[in-house]
């Protein structure tokens, strides 16, 4: 399964079934993280229920230092 | 001189009038100690793609329980980009406070007034608490206040320029007209610049680069805290009016008549 994560194409031998399992595989903590799936924000409580499909575009963002 | 009111933004009361940005510190530990030394209660953060090779340690230095952490929309070049960042920031933080900044110009990072107003209208409708970063434009400040912005954040001079208050005459008009808090943001390079903003009647200041890039950020954070506290105390004490002529402070009678 191919996914486009933060602009880079990634291939998964064991495709993550949901957004929650993708974050888990990538070791990204859910706290203070936000996800956009194909251009729409997915609320945290929907991560478990959000299924992923071939060629989905996923943006995973979090906070960094800034003014 | 303007009178100094208690600082309340969107129903939240702040004791400290110094807001601090968290960018550009030499290490997470220095950031943590600088925030502590500043006495701040509100810090800003930016939103970026996560590194898939490991978490950013900067975040661990910020105690989300202790400070109100307000995300900004830095990097946005138009209203649509700002809206996207704001919605993601809210999803990440669970908080609806947003420092709205739209800066298409990469050289001076000056805010785009039309795009800022357009983004603010949408965000307010979506329930955000919006604090827009703007040029010191009293008309724009009024428009933003009218549509429901929680505070106005006019610049003293360009972001990170350390040039101090170059917009004083217009800040004065904004402060005179505003009924929401005015936070002077950007360009403050010295503790005295922050004091000057408070003495103009600003409700608070936001400082990042001047602290983060100082040779000793922790000491500079303390210096800004003291300057802001001194200026606020002076404003509370009721400053005297300026006079064109001298007014002797020693008695002129009683000996050398």
Is residue A40 within 8 angstroms of chain B, CB to CB? no
Using DSSP bridges, classify how beta strands A33-37 and B204-207 pair: parallel, antiparallel or unpaired. Answer: unpaired
Cα(B239)–Cα(B230) distance, integer angstroms: 12
Our count of domains for chain B comes to 1
Arithmetic mean of pLDDT, B9-31: 96
CATH code, domain with B103: 3.20.20.70
Is residue B38 within 8 angstroms of chain A, CB to CB? no
Q: C-alpha distances in angstroms, A6 versus A40, A48, B49, B87, B200?
A: 14, 20, 7, 17, 45
In a domain, A46, yes or no: yes
Chain A interface, best mutation among B50, B63, B123, by max A CB count within 10 A: B50
In a domain, B1, yes or no: no
Q: How confident is the model at residue B51 (pLDDT cuts 50, 70, 90)?
A: confident
In a structure prediction context, what are the per-residue pLDDT tens digits for chain A, which is 67 residues long? Answer: 999 999 999 998 888 989 999 999 988 888 889 999 999 999 999 999 999 999 999 999 999 999 9
In a domain, B13, yes or no: no
B206/A66 Cβ within 8 A? no
In a domain, B129, yes or no: yes
Global ipTM: 0.91
Quick check: B192 and B227 in contact, CB under 8 A? yes
CATH code, domain with A24: 3.10.20.30
Mean pLDDT of chain B: 94
Which residues of B have a catalytic role annotated?
Answer: 99
Assess whether pLDDT exceeds 90 at residue B130: yes
Our count of domains for chain A comes to 1
Is residue B254 within 8 angstroms of chain A, CB to CB? no
In a domain, A56, yes or no: yes
Cα(B30)–Cα(B216) distance, integer angstroms: 9
- Residue in this structure with the two tokens 């996207």, named with its chain if needed: B84
- Tell me, what's the pLDDT at B2? 56
- Tell me, what's the pLDDT at B156? 95
In a domain, A67, yes or no: no
**Range(s) of the domain holding residue B195:** 19-236
In a domain, B250, yes or no: no
A65/B23 Cβ within 8 A? yes
In a domain, A54, yes or no: yes
**Range(s) of the domain holding residue A8:** 2-62
Assess whether pLDDT exceeds 70 at residue B55: no
In a domain, A12, yes or no: yes
In a domain, B10, yes or no: no
In a domain, B173, yes or no: yes
> Alpha-carbon dihedral of residues B71, B74, B76, B81, nearest 10 degrees?
-10
- Residue in this structure with the two tokens 């991560």, named with its chain if needed: A47
> Alpha-carbon dihedral of residues B79, B82, B88, B90, nearest 10 degrees?
-100
A20-44 b/e (C-beta count within 10 Å ≥ 16 → b)? bebbeebebeeebbbbbbeeebbeb
Cα(B39)–Cα(B48) distance, integer angstroms: 27
Half-sphere exposure of B205 (CA within 13 A, CB side): 38
A46-50, B1-5, B242-246, B253-257: range with lowest mean pLDDT: B1-5
In a domain, B128, yes or no: yes
Quick check: B177 and B138 in contact, CB under 8 A? yes
pLDDT tens-digit map of B209-218: 999 999 999 9
- Residue in this structure with the two tokens 């601090």, named with its chain if needed: B20
């Amino acid at each position: 399964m191919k996914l486009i994560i933060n602009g880079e194409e990634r291939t998964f031998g064991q495709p993550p079934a949901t957004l929650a399992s993708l974050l888990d595989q990538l070791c990204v903590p859910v706290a203070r993280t936000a996800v956009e799936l194909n251009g729409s924000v997915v609320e945290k409580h929907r991560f478990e229920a959000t299924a992923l499909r071939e060629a989905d575009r996923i943006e995973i963002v979090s906070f960094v230092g800034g003014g | 001189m303007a009178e100094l009111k208690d600082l309340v933004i969107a129903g939240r009361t702040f004791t400290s009038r110094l807001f601090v940005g968290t960018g550009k510190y030499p290490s997470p530990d220095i950031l943590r100690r600088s925030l502590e030394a500043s006495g701040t209660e509100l810090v800003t953060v930016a939103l970026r793609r996560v590194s898939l090779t490991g978490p950013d340690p900067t975040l661990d230095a910020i105690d989300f329980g202790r400070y109100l952490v307000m995300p900004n929309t830095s990097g946005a070049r138009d209203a649509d980009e700002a809206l996207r960042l704001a919605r993601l920031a809210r999803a990440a933080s669970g908080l609806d406070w947003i420092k709205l900044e739209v800066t298409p110009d990469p050289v001076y990072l000056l805010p785009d007034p039309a795009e800022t107003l357009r983004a603010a209208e949408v965000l307010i409708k979506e329930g955000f608490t919006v604090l827009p970063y703007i040029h010191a434009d009293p008309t724009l400040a009024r428009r933003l206040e009218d549509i429901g912005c929680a505070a106005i954040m006019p610049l003293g001079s360009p972001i990170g320029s350390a040039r101090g208050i170059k917009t004083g005459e217009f800040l004065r008009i904004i402060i005179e007209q505003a009924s929401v808090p005015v936070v002077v943001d950007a360009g403050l390079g010295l503790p005295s610049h922050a004091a000057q903003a408070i003495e103009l009647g600003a409700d608070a200041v936001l400082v990042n680069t001047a602290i983060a890039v100082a040779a000793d950020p922790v000491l500079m954070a303390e210096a800004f805290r003291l300057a802001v506290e001194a200026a606020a105390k002076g404003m509370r004490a009721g400053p005297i009016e300026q006079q064109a002529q001298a007014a002797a402070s020693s008695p002129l009678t009683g000996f050398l008549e």
